[in-house]
Amino acid sequence: MALAFGSVEILQIADAVAREKSIDKEAVLEAMEQAIQIAGRRKYGHEHNIIAEIDRKSGEVQLYRVTDVVEEVENELQQITEKEAQKINPELKVGEQIRDPLPPIDFGRIAAQTAKQVIVQRVRDAERERSYEEFKDRVGEIVNGTVKRVDYGNVVVDLGVAEAFIPREELIPRENLRQGDRVRAYVYDARRERTGPQIFLSRTKPEFMKKLFAQEVPEIYDGIIEIKAVARDPGSRAKIAVMSHDFSVNPVLSCVGVRGARVQAVVGELQGEKIDIVEYSPDPATMIVNAISSAEVTKVVLDEDTNKVEIVVPDDQLSLAIGRRGQNVRLASQLCGWSIDILTEQQESERRTQEFKNLSNLFIETLNVEEVIAHLLVTEGFTSIEEVAYVPIEDLASIEGFDEEVAGELRQRARDWLNTRDEEMKKKLKDLGVEEDLVSLEGVGSEMAVKLAEKGVKSRDDLADLAADEFRELLPDTTLRHAEINDLIMRARAHWFADEEPAAQEGAADTAEAANG
């Protein structure tokens, strides 16, 4: 087919494509120039530097063979020396170009098809670039679109002005989207990929649920109610924690709506995903109880250092608290940010009984007392031999059934046992080669020093080289909290900085002396 150069049809075509695709007319013209340029190189040879230009006013197309003026020629077909160039035009200098006009070309069938493919590809690239520029600032919004096609589970969505991509892992499980279906999704990213700019959508992210509630609940949109946290098992169940900034507005009821209308609208969009709406509390224990929601909680024990919580539920409530395949407790843990362990009242009772028995046996063996006395000590809250050895005598004597004589005898036996243990510890420390600076460090003591030495930590410097997590790995049974471990390690490192201070002071003195001199 022959291309009618000089015709205004090229400009009309560019105008039509630009309007249809909502892209810049200049991008379409550049795509056409590239297509004509490729056809020109096929006719005149790829070894030549052929360029095409379309006049933006008349639509006239012109082909040129370009030759660069250089100092030293490396490619004779594309370069020329300054001396030779000045034979053509005396004003030419290094860095300039010679443009030789070429006659118009006729597009054969293959060349026309190639040109069409180039134009289509360039137009598609321009569309993607425009889409990226538009949507890069819309990350975090919900968009509506139509399913254009499904490729191996991944969904391409037509947003009207752009195409977007829902990866298979961002689709709700068992969701079956087909071509032509209307779909809503959350824009979670817009970035340039190797294949060009891409817009990524999700229907599984917690932020999608947040945005859906904001659309259905005016109080959330207005900022009266705030969504503090969301935990989802997409397509199955979710938990959402809400709080109200207005004491007259109940956040849970507002999100549920009249006869559940508001929450049901969200559930319908999420393929029947069950949603537990709970009231947020800044108090961790209260928040955890609210998050468990479906089960009654009788006791909560928090360990803030390890970010773990232990909750106790009635025996018949265990399955409700855990949920199917652990779903309820897992979502509650995600919602609160705490690791949750669940015990029944019977399990907790059995554990308390075992702890009582272990402590009683400790006192019986070490203090050589009868079972009833050991039980009394445990009942009164004594948990170690050190407590018995150093508690004021009047506190021991105040225990029902004890007097000062019994109290004194118990305290003496505890101290004798501790002295014996200390002697044994000293021998172990010597045999293990533990340095005195480790034993004397505040917070260590003989017993811990022996345990550390058995793990290869035999000096203060050895301890100072540890991180808190490494310390806990060496002594997994330690009762020290994370912050206390860090304090201990910093005390072990203190002498490092103390050694630096005199040197720094000496350096400062030398500097001052030099300045005065």
Task: Kindly give the interhelix angle for 345-367 and 404-432, rounded to the nearest 10 degrees.
Answer: 90
Q: 337 in the Ramachandran plot: left (φ > 0), alpha (ψ -120 to 50) or beta?
A: left
- Predicted pLDDT at 127: 67
Is 194 contained in some domain?
yes
Spatial CA neighbour of 249 closest among 290, 276, 217, 274: 217
Min mean pLDDT across 45-49, 194-198, 261-265 is at 194-198
CATH number at residue 161: 2.40.50.140
Is 79 contained in some domain?
yes
Q: Is the pLDDT of residue 126 over 80?
A: no
Please give the Cα distance from 255 to 213 (Å, whole number).
7
- Predicted pLDDT at 185: 93
DSSP 3-state assignment of 347? helix
For the chain, first and last CA: distance in Å?
93
Same domain, 178 and 117: no
Q: Is the pLDDT of residue 181 over 80?
A: yes
Q: Is the pLDDT of residue 514 over 50?
A: no
Greater confidence (59 vs 331) lies with 331
Min mean pLDDT across 189-198, 272-281, 339-348 is at 189-198
- Predicted pLDDT at 75: 82
β 142-151/182-193 pair status: antiparallel
- Predicted pLDDT at 2: 38
- Contact criterion met (CB below 8 Å) for 407 and 390: no
- Given pLDDT bands bounded at 50, 70 and 90, which one contains residue 507? low
Q: Is the pLDDT of residue 182 over 90?
A: yes
Greater confidence (501 vs 223) lies with 223
Mean pLDDT across the stretch 137-163? 87
Q: Which amino acid is at 510?
A: D
- Given pLDDT bands bounded at 50, 70 and 90, which one contains residue 333? very high
Same domain, 113 and 150: no
Spatial CA neighbour of 364 closest among 425, 422, 414: 414
Q: What is the CA radius of gyration of the chain?
A: 40
Percentage of the chain beyond pLDDT 70 is: 88
What's the domain range around 366?
281-378
Same domain, 158 and 120: no
Is 186 contained in some domain?
yes
Q: Is the pLDDT of residue 27 over 70?
A: yes
Q: Is the pLDDT of residue 3 over 80?
A: no
Percentage of the chain beyond pLDDT 90 is: 24
Same domain, 320 and 356: yes
- Given pLDDT bands bounded at 50, 70 and 90, which one contains residue 169? very high
Same domain, 87 and 160: no
- Predicted pLDDT at 132: 72
Highest mean pLDDT out of 12-26, 332-346, 418-432: 332-346
Same domain, 99 and 151: no
pLDDT in tens, 275-309: 999 999 999 999 999 998 878 888 888 888 778 88
Q: Which two tokens stand for residue 247?
A: 């004491």
Q: Is 207 exposed, middle or buried (0-12, 13-18, 19+ CB in 10 A)?
A: middle
- Contact criterion met (CB below 8 Å) for 439 and 427: no
CATH number at residue 104: 3.30.1480.10
Q: Which two tokens stand for residue 504?
A: 């720094």
Looking at every residue in the chain, the average pLDDT score rounds to 83
- Given pLDDT bands bounded at 50, 70 and 90, which one contains residue 109? low
- Number of folded domains that form the chain: 3
Q: Is the pLDDT of residue 80 over 60?
A: yes
